[in-house]
């Protein structure tokens, strides 16, 4: 029931896609993790390249021609960097990652490594096949690794890198990394949300509530966290608290998709 209902959450489309491609983990007392991978295709939530604004498509076409005709120098690296940004704006994250890689080969700096890593991470979250998922996870790990070698304190890179391990043969590696992030920064929003999300996905709702309550205490405007907290409360049997939580989300976000989703939860809780 949780999986089916989560698919309705428009505002969390990418995050929820990631949630259901991860393994059915069990983080009992945050000490053990086991289970098998789960994947669902959510084609309706994926970006449609045809909907890319015409000016973005035209800019991509012009820059690709200049890049193809260029040589390996700073000017061509600038073309590649610009193409990475344009493809990201077009939600074509695999292409964004490829061009960010080309730019990083010239600049060889943390900014471009992070750009490549983050683009491949987004492509990983949207991958429709296990082969592509593995490919993009590996690429994102490679470049997040470069970032962390240069700056071990980059917790965003470490948190995202951790998530790429959760659909690997060794998902516990990702959990360990997330714990390490929270040890260094107990208020880290990205790590708190991901740990809460994993707990919901594995059916450990009490643990999810704990993580998500901490998240919304740190950032009361975190809509995904507020919504996921309502879902965790509902499935942990705290119906009145769940109702109040969903009503709160309705007041916070007037997006029609969010309103419809919350209304469906409230109807079920009557």
Sole residue written with tokens 């491949």: 120
The confidence score (pLDDT) of residue 249 equals 95
Measured torsion, CA atoms of residues 146, 13, 269, 215, in degrees rounded to the nearest 10: 30
Let me know: does 245 contact 230? Beta carbons within 8 Å.
Answer: yes
* Displacement of CA 150 from its chain's centroid (Å): 23
Determine the distance from the C-alpha atom of residue 121 to the mean position of all C-alpha atoms in its chain, rounded to a whole number: 8
**Pair 119, 100: CB distance under 8 Å:** yes
What confidence score (pLDDT) does residue 223 get? Answer: 93
Q: How far apart are CA 122 and CA 17, in angstroms?
A: 11
Q: What is the pLDDT along the chain (270 residues), one digit of tens a residue?
A: 444 344 333 334 344 434 434 444 444 444 333 333 322 322 223 333 435 667 777 777 777 777 776 666 788 888 888 989 998 988 899 999 999 999 999 999 999 999 999 999 999 999 988 899 999 999 999 999 999 999 999 999 999 999 999 878 888 999 999 999 999 999 999 999 999 999 998 899 999 999 999 999 999 999 999 999 999 999 999 999 999 999 999 999 998 888 998 999 999 998
Q: What is the DSSP string of 205-245?
A: HHHHHHHHHHHHHH-TT-HHHHHHHHHHHHHTT-HHHHHHH
Tokens of 183: 């040890």
Q: What is the pTM of this model?
A: 0.75
Long-range contacts of 103-110 (CB under 8 A, 24+ apart): 103/77, 103/78, 104/143, 105/72, 105/77, 106/72, 106/73, 106/74, 106/76, 106/77, 106/80, 107/77, 107/81, 110/146, 110/147, 110/150, 110/151, 110/154
**CA 255, CA 11: separation in Å to the nearest integer?**
8
First to last CA, the chain: 17
pLDDT, residue 258, reads 87
Helix (H), strand (E) at residue 89: helix 74-89
């Amino acid at each position: 029931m949780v999986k089916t209902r989560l698919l309705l959450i428009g505002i969390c489309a990418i995050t929820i896609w990631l949630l259901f491609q991860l393994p059915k983990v069990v983080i009992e007392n945050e000490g053990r993790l086991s289970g098998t991978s789960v994947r669902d295709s959510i084609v309706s939530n994926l970006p449609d390249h045809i909907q890319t604004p015409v000016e973005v498509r035209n800019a991509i076409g012009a820059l690709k021609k200049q890049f193809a005709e260029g040589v390996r120098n700073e000017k061509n690296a600038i073309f590649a960097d610009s193409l990475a940004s344009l493809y990201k704006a077009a939600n074509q994250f695999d292409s964004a990652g490829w061009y960010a890689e080309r730019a990083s080969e010239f600049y060889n700096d943390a900014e471009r490594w992070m750009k490549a890593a983050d683009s491949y991470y987004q492509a990983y979250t949207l991958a429709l096949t296990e082969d592509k998922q593995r490919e993009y996870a590996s690429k994102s790990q490679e470049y997040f690794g470069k970032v962390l070698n240069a700056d071990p304190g980059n917790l965003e890179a470490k948190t995202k890198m951790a998530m790429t391990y959760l659909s690997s043969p060794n998902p516990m590696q990702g959990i360990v990394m997330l714990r390490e992030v929270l040890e260094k920064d107990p208020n880290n929003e990205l790590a708190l949300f991901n740990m809460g999300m994993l707990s919901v996905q594995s059916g450990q709702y009490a643990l999810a509530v704990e993580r998500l309550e901490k998240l919304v205490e740190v950032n009361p405007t975190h809509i995904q966290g507020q919504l996921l907290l309502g879902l965790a409360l509902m499935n942990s049997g705290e119906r009145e608290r769940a109702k109040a939580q969903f009503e709160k989300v309705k007041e916070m976000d007037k997006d029609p998709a969010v309103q419809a989703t919350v209304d469906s939860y409230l109807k079920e809780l009557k």
